[in-house]
A and B are shown apart, each in its own frame.
Chain A
Amino acid sequence: MKLIGKILEKLRGKKSIEELEMDLLEAHVHPDVIDLLKKAEDPISFIKERLRAAPLEGRIIMLVGINGSGKTTTAVKLAHYFINKGYRTAIAASDTFRAGSIEQLEEWNKRVPFILFKKGYGADPASVAYEAVHSDAEKIIIDTAGRQDTRKDLIEELKKIKRVSGADKTIMVVDATQGVSVLEQVKQFQEHVPIDGFIVAKYDIDSKGGVPLTVGVYTGLPIFFVGIGQNPDGLEPFDPDKYVKELI
């Protein structure tokens, strides 16, 4: 966190948050977050306090997010990460809706040795998760179907999966290339399934965008990882210092 401090310290002399506003808007940081920064007594420590990384703990990890944000790829990356750490790791294919989602995991499974729990399309996503949870796996990753934030009925379904699986961590996978609408999506999801933090996928494509700052500062929840590329090993801890440096 030292670096953030230094950078912002430097900026403090020359630029106030008001003056930074254009830069932040250009990076598509949500105006609500800029308003929060303006109101904060000390915007610098406010960012430091709220934009943070954290290690991912817990046995049962459920991934949620909108369509195409990168959930399935992230699930495989997480599995790879845990397997490397020596955990017996399972993925529950609870996306029983999107065409090809199960085959996608089966293909990955040829390269990454996770235990795959699946039931076929149209099956109850919660029951797939249930089976995985009651296996002897030490880490379980639940991959859910993507849904638009306007489809309240579908988000509601996630609640059931969460309840049945007893997920320790619910992580929203957000897409680094998104614009300010990411905040609306986060709010909608959070209203129905409380989330514990984020993984920012496609971070290699846009590491200068406003998504991490927007979701991190607004919610104060940690960013566990950022996703880099399409390979199973493309998962890195989030580095707030580096990010803020590139952003401003």
Chain B
Amino acid sequence: MLERLRNVFSLLGRKGVEDAIKELQRALILADVDIKMVKELTDSLRKDIQEELKKHPGIPPTEIAKYAIYNHIINLLDVGRPLKISPQTIMLVGINGSGKTTTAVKLAFWFKNRGIKSYVMSLDTERPAAKEQLKQLAEKGGIEYTEEVRNDGVTIIDTPGRTAADEKLLEELRHLKMDIMPDRTFLVIPADMGRLAGEEARKFQDSIGIDGIIITKMDGSAKGGGALVASKEANIPVYFIGTGEKLQDFEPFDVEKYVKRLLGVPDIKTIQEMVPQETKIPERFDINTFHEQLMQMRGAGPLNKILSALGMNVPVDVLEGMEEKMKRYDAIYKSMTKEERANPDIINESRIRRIARGSGTSEADVRQFLRDYKRAEKLFKRLKKGKIRGLPRL
């Protein structure tokens, strides 16, 4: 969606409300939001803005419009719901290729990280090697594969890919559900599904009963407008979104976070969540701490996620440059002596030369490293005072 939504706000400042609304329409269409719904939304938006303007003649129209747009989108996409962390059986259903199998393991992994024993189980006897795929993935996440529903934890059940278009196959799925009697049945919808998402949600709901939706592949350029609106229309909450290839790339759907990310508002909550949980604010900040933080950021997943959580929309080129930089920084760090890491102030010109040679980088690289370190140190001091405003610019 919606790098374009950012344009909406900037257009609002430059050209006024009507142009901004037009841009919003286009942004929503590009996000696979159903055209009728787009019309409804913008009609009600126009009305709202006019009424608010009458009520508050003192406030600039652009501010009123901004507020109204934000609220309308939140309202349109307010479909998230948290999942109870307790032993249960969850069955996943959905179209072929939506990402059910990966999601099964991600969901099990999510429970496991919250202290609940979790299992996965495959009822997909159709897709060749489906069980094999599930087993391999489960093993990666340290999750046990089971042949039957377990009572001592969470069991996630993978099913064959089904589309709502085939009623006969859907009927089979309904029988499967009756045999298993899961506590919850989730429909898995990929973020790039278009107009069909609504139809799928409705038909699955009617024929087998759906308790929630999981949207996968949110890391691509599609941002799930089809699926989100489908859930809104069918009145089925969205529990999770999948945001990458790794097992930990999986999070509960939080509408405010989502919309803020779309609109480019920095989101401190996401950044804090990305920092591994055992991380405490260290007592002292030296190059060791700096290096550790950098490497943790790398471990937290592709940089673009962290940056997009910060409301930065960085071209992929730049990001790749950054990954490169991380590698260089790692080499520079490794070429420093223990003493230098603990006391960066002693690093003089000749030490810089040595470090550059040792790490196979240039002196300019080492100086840049030291500058970034200084910046991070400053930030660290602010963080200790409890005032974080942004990560250091790399």
Contacts and interface: CB of A to CB of B under 8 A. Distances in A.
A148 B132 contact: no
B221 A181 contact: yes
A150 B128 contact: no
B32 interface: yes
Contact of B196 (A22, A66, A67, A206): A206
B88 to A, nearest CB: 25
Given A103-B132, A177-B193, A184 B221 contact: yes
B313 to A, nearest CB: 12
The bracket for how many chain A residues form the interface is 35 or more
Interface string A203-232: 011100111000000000000000000100
A205 B196 contact: yes
Contacts of A211: 194
Interface in B23-55: 26, 29-30, 32, 34-36
A177 B196 contact: yes
A84 B220 CA distance: 37
A26 B95 contact: no
Contacts of B26: 31
Given A67-B99, A149-B221, A150-B304, A26 B195 contact: yes
B309 to A, nearest CB: 15
Contacts of A132: none
A52 B129 CA distance: 35
Contact of A28 (B165, B194, B223, B320): B194
B193 A179 contact: yes
A61 to B, nearest CB: 20
A68 B30 CA distance: 21
Nearest to A201: B97
A160 interface: no
5 contacts: A25-B35, A180-B29, A181-B30, A185-B220, A209-B195
Interface of A: 22, 25-28, 30-31, 66-70, 73, 98-108, 121, 148-153, 175, 177-182, 184-185, 188, 202, 204-206, 209-211, 230
Interface of B: 26, 29-30, 32, 34-36, 95-99, 101, 126-130, 132-134, 136-137, 140, 163, 165, 190-197, 217, 219-223, 225-226, 304, 316-317, 320
8 closest A-B pairs by beta carbon, nearest first, are A100-B133, A179-B194, A107-B128, A68-B97, A179-B32, A103-B129, A181-B222, A99-B136
